[in-house]
């Protein structure tokens, strides 16, 4: 069974902390994505990566950075967490195949206090 695994289901962090959200996929996919989901705003793309060490900004990259040192792992970093980054964070992966589908993790609900 294919899997995208996010390291935490729930996370509570303090304002100003550096936060790491980890995502691992076991499908040898080239593409990996980080989204955040907020009520009334839907899913918004933060960053995506199409290869090791390669990254592209999504629609809302401000306040975030990413790291992809290995093909299977894509990390989202909040350099200095703020309360407006309280959200559900979703990781996804897909292959380069023309009609590939994306697989999503179960999500990490982050609360910044």
Nearest approach, Cβ of 81 to another protein (angstroms)? 22
Which residue, 44 or 73, has its beta carbon nearer to another protein?
44
Which residue, 14 or 39, has its beta carbon nearer to another protein?
39
Binding site for another protein (CB under 8 A): 4, 30-31, 33, 35, 42-45, 48, 50, 56, 58-59, 90, 92, 94-107
Q: Which CA distances in Å does 59 have to 5, 13, 46, 99? A: 23, 24, 6, 23
Nearest approach, Cβ of 80 to another protein (angstroms)? 26
Cα 73 to Cα 51: distance, rounded to the nearest angstrom? 11
Nearest approach, Cβ of 110 to another protein (angstroms)? 14
Question: Of 28, 34, 87, which Cα lies nearest the Cα of 57?
Answer: 34
Distance of CA 67 to the CA centre of its chain: 10
């Amino acid at each position: 069974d294919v899997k995208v695994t996010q390291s935490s289901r729930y996370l509570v962090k303090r304002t100003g902390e550096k936060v790491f959200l980890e995502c691992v996929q076991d499908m040898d996919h080239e593409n990996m994505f980080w989204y955040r989901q907020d009520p009334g705003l839907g899913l918004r793309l933060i960053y995506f990566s199409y290869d090791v060490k390669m990254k592209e900004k999504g629609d809302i990259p401000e306040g975030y950075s990413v790291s992809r040192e290995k093909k299977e792992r894509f990390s989202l970093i909040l350099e200095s967490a703020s309360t407006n980054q309280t959200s559900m964070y979703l990781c996804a992966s897909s292959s380069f195949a023309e009609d590939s589908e994306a697989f999503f993790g179960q999500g990490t609900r982050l609360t910044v206090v």
